[in-house]
C-alpha cells in the first residue's frame, strides 16, 4: 500500500459506447490504480448513447466504490468520440485529466502512473503509445498529416493520454470547438511526449459503420484544418487549368490563322471539360473550407448532453 499518495487532483474521462462487456472490469482496474496512487480523484464516464447495458454496468461498479464519485454524462444522441470527450473534459475539475478514448486494456496498468510521472517532468501532454504495428489506413493518414502539418510535434495512434490543467486552458483559449484533440494538442505550443509500451496481449476491436463514417469525416476535416494538402491540390489544379486554357487559346489562334475548318472540336471540348472539372474540384474544396469554418465559428452548441448522473453511495 502506498503511504505517500500524490496530492494532485486527478480526473479520468472515459468514453463509453456499447461496451457492457468491458466497462466493468475497466473501471475497476482504473479505480484501483487511482485510489492507490492519488488522494483525490474523479471518474467521468461519457455515455455516447449506448444501446446496451453499459450504463447499468457502470452503476454496478459505482456501488462497490466509496472513495470517489463516478459521474455519467449521457449524450443526447450518438456524437462520436471527439465531441463526447470534449463534453467530459469540460466537466472535469482535476489538475490533470486522463483521456481514455477506448477501454480495451492491452498494457500493464503501471503504464497509467508512468504517463503521469512523465508529465511531472514538464510535459503538459503525455500519451501512452503501443509499439505494435498500426492499421494501414491509420499509417497512411498519419503519414499525410505529419508530412503536411506545420506542427512542431507529430501525431500518432495513442491508447490514452494525460493532459495538464494548463494544457486544457490553453486549448480552450485557442478553440471554441475542438474538432480533433490530438491535432489541437500538437499545435497548442506546449511540450508533448509519449510513453511507448509493448502490448501484453493482442486486442482486435470491431468498428461499427457509424463510427467508421465519423472517423472518415474527421480525418478529412483534420487534414483540411491542420495541413496544407488541399491547398497544394487547389494550387496544382489552378496551374493545370491555366495551362489548359493557354493551350486551348493557342490552338484556336492557329486554327483561325490557317483558316481551316474547326476539326479539333472534340479535342477542344475535352480540354474544356477537364478545365471545368478542375474548377468544380476547387469549388468543392472551398465549400468544404467554408462549411468547417461556419461550424467552428457560428455553431452555437458544441455538443448536446441529455443528463448528468452523479452516483454516490
CA distance 13 to 86: 9
The upper half-sphere exposure of residue 208, i.e. CA atoms within 13 Å in the direction of its Cβ, equals 10
pLDDT, tens only, 299-312? 445 665 656 777 76
Looking at the structure, tell me whether residues 197 and 257 fall in a common domain: no
Residue 127 lies in a domain: yes
Residue 22: CATH number of its domain: 3.90.550.10
Indicate if the pLDDT at residue 298 is higher than 60.
no
Looking at the structure, tell me whether residues 54 and 201 fall in a common domain: yes
Give the global pTM.
Answer: 0.80
Residue with cell 472539372: 277
Rg (CA), the chain: 25
Looking at the structure, tell me whether residues 144 and 280 fall in a common domain: no
Per-range mean pLDDT, top range of 171-175, 188-192, 292-296: 188-192
Residue 143 lies in a domain: yes
Segment 82-96 mean pLDDT = 94
Looking at the structure, tell me whether residues 200 and 242 fall in a common domain: no
pLDDT at site 305:
63
For all residues of the chain together, what is the average pLDDT? 84
Backbone angle region of 103, left / alpha / beta, with phi > 0 → left and psi within -120 to 50 → alpha: alpha
Segment 15-26 mean pLDDT = 93
What the block records as the C-alpha cell of 222 is: 483534420
What the block records as the C-alpha cell of 110 is: 503501471
Residue 74 lies in a domain: yes
Split into its structural domains, the chain has a count of 2
Looking at the structure, tell me whether residues 85 and 158 fall in a common domain: yes
Within 10 angstroms of residue 293's Cβ, the number of other Cβ atoms is 11
Can you name the residues that pair with 44 across neighbouring β-strands? 13, 71
pLDDT at site 248:
73
Q: Which residues of 113-150 are buried (b: 16+ CB within 10 A; e: fewer)?
A: bebbebbeeebbbbbbbbeeeeeeeeeebbeebeeebe
- Give the residue with greater pLDDT, 259 vs 213: 213
pLDDT at site 264:
67
Q: Which domain holds residue 81?
A: 10-226+302-311
Residue 85 lies in a domain: yes
Looking at the structure, tell me whether residues 209 and 239 fall in a common domain: no
Looking at the structure, tell me whether residues 125 and 215 fall in a common domain: yes
Residue 76 lies in a domain: yes
pLDDT at site 1:
46
Q: Give which of 189, 221, 233, 245 is closest to 293, Cα–Cα.
A: 221
Looking at the structure, tell me whether residues 235 and 183 fall in a common domain: no
CA distance 225 to 221: 6
C-alpha pair distances (Å), 273 with each of 40, 253, 267, 281: 66, 19, 10, 12
Looking at the structure, tell me whether residues 158 and 233 fall in a common domain: no
- Give the residue with greater pLDDT, 2 vs 108: 108
Looking at the structure, tell me whether residues 103 and 244 fall in a common domain: no
CA distance 183 to 149: 9
Residue 5 lies in a domain: no
Within 10 angstroms of residue 54's Cβ, the number of other Cβ atoms is 23
Looking at the structure, tell me whether residues 173 and 267 fall in a common domain: no
Amino acid at each position: 500500500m502506498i503511504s505517500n499518495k500524490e496530492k494532485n487532483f486527478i480526473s479520468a474521462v472515459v468514453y463509453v459506447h456499447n461496451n457492457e462487456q468491458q466497462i466493468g472490469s475497466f473501471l475497476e482496474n482504473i479505480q484501483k490504480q487511482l485510489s492507490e496512487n492519488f488522494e483525490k480523484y474523479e471518474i467521468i464516464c461519457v455515455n455516447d448513447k449506448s444501446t446496451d447495458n453499459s450504463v447499468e454496468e457502470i452503476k454496478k461498479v459505482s456501488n462497490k466504490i466509496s472513495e470517489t464519485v463516478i459521474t455519467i454524462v449521457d449524450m443526447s444522441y450518438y456524437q462520436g468520440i471527439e465531441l463526447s470527450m470534449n463534453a467530459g473534459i469540460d466537466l472535469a475539475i482535476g489538475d490533470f485529466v486522463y483521456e481514455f478514448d477506448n477501454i480495451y486494456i492491452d498494457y500493464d496498468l503501471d503504464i497509467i502512473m508512468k504517463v503521469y510521472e512523465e508529465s511531472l517532468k514538464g510535459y503538459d501532454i503525455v500519451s501512452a503509445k503501443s509499439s505494435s504495428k498500426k492499421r494501414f489506413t491509420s499509417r497512411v493518414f498519419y503519414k499525410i498529416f505529419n508530412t503536411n502539418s506545420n506542427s512542431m510535434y507529430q501525431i500518432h495512434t495513442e491508447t490514452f493520454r494525460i493532459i495538464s490543467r494548463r494544457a486544457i486552458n490553453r486549448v480552450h483559449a485557442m478553440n471554441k470547438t475542438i474538432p480533433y484533440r490530438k491535432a489541437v494538442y500538437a499545435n497548442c505550443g506546449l511540450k508533448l511526449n509519449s510513453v511507448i509500451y509493448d502490448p501484453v496481449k493482442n486486442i482486435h476491436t470491431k468498428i461499427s459503420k457509424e463510427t467508421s463514417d465519423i472517423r472518415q469525416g474527421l480525418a478529412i476535416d483534420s487534414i483540411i484544418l491542420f495541413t496544407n494538402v488541399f491547398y497544394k491540390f487547389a494550387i496544382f489544379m489552378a496551374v493545370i487549368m491555366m495551362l489548359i486554357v493557354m493551350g486551348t487559346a493557342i490552338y484556336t489562334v492557329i486554327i483561325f490563322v490557317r483558316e481551316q475548318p474547326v476539326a479539333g472540336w472534340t479535342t477542344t471540348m475535352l480540354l474544356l471539360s477537364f478545365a471545368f472539372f478542375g474548377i468544380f474540384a476547387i469549388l468543392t474544396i472551398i465549400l468544404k473550407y467554408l462549411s468547417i469554418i461556419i461550424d467552428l465559428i457560428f455553431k452555437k452548441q458544441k455538443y448536446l448532453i441529455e443528463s448528468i448522473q452523479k452516483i454516490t453511495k
